[in-house]
Amino acid sequence: MLVLRRRAGEAIVLGGDIEIEVIEISRTRVKLGVRAPREVSVTRREVIALAAENREASDLISRCGHKGVGDLIRLLRNVSNESSQVVPGQVDM
Planar angle of CA 48, 44, 56, nearest 5 degrees: 15
Q: Which of 40, 72, 45, 77 is nearest to 56 (CA)?
A: 72
Q: What's the pLDDT at 46?
A: 83
Q: What's the pLDDT at 93?
A: 40
The whole-number average pLDDT for the span 65-89 is 68
Cβ within 8 Å of residue 30, ≥6 positions away: 22, 24
Q: What's the pLDDT at 92?
A: 47
Global pTM reads: 0.55
Q: Number of helices and strands (H, E) in the chain?
A: 1, 3
Task: Please state which of the ranges 22-36, 38-52, 78-92 shows the lowest mean pLDDT.
Answer: 78-92
